[in-house]
Structure 1
Amino acid sequence: MATILCIETATTNCSVALSINGSVIALTEDNPLNEGGKKFSHAEKLHTYIDEVLGKAEISKHQLDAIAISKGPGSYTGLRIGVSAAKGLCYALDIPLISIPTLTSLAAQVNDAVTVIPMLDARRMEVYTATFDTARKQVTDTEAKIIDETSFNDTLEKGNVTFIGDGAAKFKEVCLHPNASFVLNALPSANEMAILAEAKYKISDIEDVAYFEPYYLKDFITG
């Protein structure tokens, strides 16, 4: 059983969760999609949110077993802020760093037994995306993809597909396939990182704190 602090800053959602044995016991986040606009609050709020979740759970930093960080792809600025905070805590507390692919945790928000394609906005008609099967195993490489009305037709012909994320709205505008459904007001959250981080902790799938870098793929948001 591990006590893990999960940090998600890959998009405009500044999100922090505390988990024990893979279950979230405290969560604080600031999802600007719920307020009708995009903004970054990471620099101002991340460390405050970390203190908040620890306070809610009445757990000190010295009781943490690991730090989990969303590794990207995502905002260059957001990822740098999150990774820097995570590394600092790992160094100070001498605990391991766990990285969680951002699209994996976003796909985990869909509970239905369908194929899931998470999409993060990469400006214009481009998104960061990958395909996950019904067991949430990633079955295609993560890519920056320019979308049009024919995108993902091969996958859609095989059955129902749920597209999720702030990039899914772009595809909804051009996709006419009846097998497509959309979850639009969703961003990656530390909430879904918990069970993924616990699984990695159990098998010691950890990062080298000194050399770990976020997975940028490309710089798609600079704010």
Structure 2
Amino acid sequence: MLILSIDTSTRGCSVALHRNAELLAGYDLYTERSSSAMLTTLAENVVKDSGFFLSDLDAIAVAKGPGSYTGLRVGVSTAKGLCYGLNKPMLAVNTLEAMYLQTKGFFPETTLFCPMIDARRMEVYAAVFDFHGNLIHPTEAIILTENSFDTELESNKVVFFGDGAAKCQPLFGNRGNAVFPSEDIKPSAKTVGILASLAFQNQQFENVASFEPYYLKDFMAPSPRKSVFSN
């Protein structure tokens, strides 16, 4: 079971190759903009450097979101192109669930985990998982207030992480059960591949033709700036 995974949920891009859920190689490139051409090159390199050909792959996996509208579109279109070109099935993984896997090994079993992706202003995309990966709070777009996550914080340590977590600290960062890791934790194909391996075993394949990213909310283009020459 050889799976190539792609994550472009936020700034930059990430690719990884797993065999039977074991990481063989992975590349993370965090730049302001990552094109589909750059992503395809990274994918080809991670497979080649591991001693395989693209034709050896059993499936292509992609982080479906939530996240950046443009980033998700690039990742999904690249995954679709590879699936069509290689005649391989596609798997899709929730970005926040893959982020949770990056942190669970560093905290006790009573801890809750809240990965967050910045959604501009005081809004974030977030979900809450327990230590075993059970969903405590579903994935949604949340406008943060000082009362956000009161229920979870009342009786559990909650780890807030991801590029949206910094918005929480001024609101409820002084509460004893709120934990903010010092390490910057970004979405990565390295954990997407672990979840994709499980999805492959369960035959949870996507319809390549009709699949769309999990945008969570409609794309809103920025308002055009008023010309300095207008009256």
> Does the alignment reach a TM-score above 0.5?
yes
1:173 aligns to what?
Answer: 170
- 1:35 is aligned to none
Q: Which residue of 2 aligns with 1:134?
A: 131
Q: Would you say the 8 A contact 2:36–2:78 is kept in 1? A: no
> Which segments of 5 or more consecutive residues in structure 2 lack a partner in the other structure?
223-231
Partner of 1:36: none
Amino acid at match of 1:198: S
Q: Which residue is 1:18 aligned to?
A: 17
1:208 paired residue number: 207
Residue number in structure 1 paired with 2:47: 54
Aligned amino acid, residue 174 of structure 1: L
Change (3 A) 1:221 1:17: farther
Counterpart of 1:145 in structure 2 is 142
Alpha-carbon spacing, 1:100–1:222, altered in 2? closer, same or farther (3 Å):
farther
Tell me the amino acid that sits aligned with residue 97 of structure 1: M
2:3 equivalent in structure 1? 4
Q: CA deviation at 1:41?
A: 1.8
Change (3 A) 1:74 1:209: same
In 2, distance between residues paired with 1:161 and 1:28?
A: 29
**Inter-CA distance 46–88: structure 2 relative to 1 (3 Å threshold):** same
CA contact (8 A) 1:103 1:130 kept: yes
What is the CA–CA distance in structure 2 between the aligned matches of 1:101 and 1:171, rounded to whole Å?
Answer: 22
How many residues are treated as equivalent by the alignment? 216
Output the amino acid matched with 1:24. L
What amino acid does structure 2 have at the position aligned with 1:121?
Answer: D
Q: In 2, are the aligned partners of 1:75 and 1:220 still within 8 Å (CA)?
A: no
| Post-superposition offset of 1:157 | 0.9
After TM superposition, list the pairs within 5 Å mapping 1:66-85 onto structure 2.
Answer: 66-85=59-78
SS in 2 for 1:218: coil
Using the alignment, how far apart are the partners of 2:215 and 2:94 within structure 1? 11
TM-score of the superposition, structure 2-length normalised? 0.89
Specify the code of the residue in structure 2 equivalent to 1:155: E
Gap change, CA 1:180 and 1:27, over 3 Å in 2: same
SS at match of 1:166: coil
TM-score under structure 1 length normalisation: 0.92
- The residue identity in structure 2 corresponding to 1:177 is R
Secondary structure class of the residue paired with 1:207:
coil
Structure with greater Cα Rg: 2
Give the equivalent residue in structure 1 for 2:192.
193
Q: Which residue of 1 aligns with 2:57?
A: 64
Query: Structure 1 segments of 4 or more deviating over 4 A?
Result: 219-223
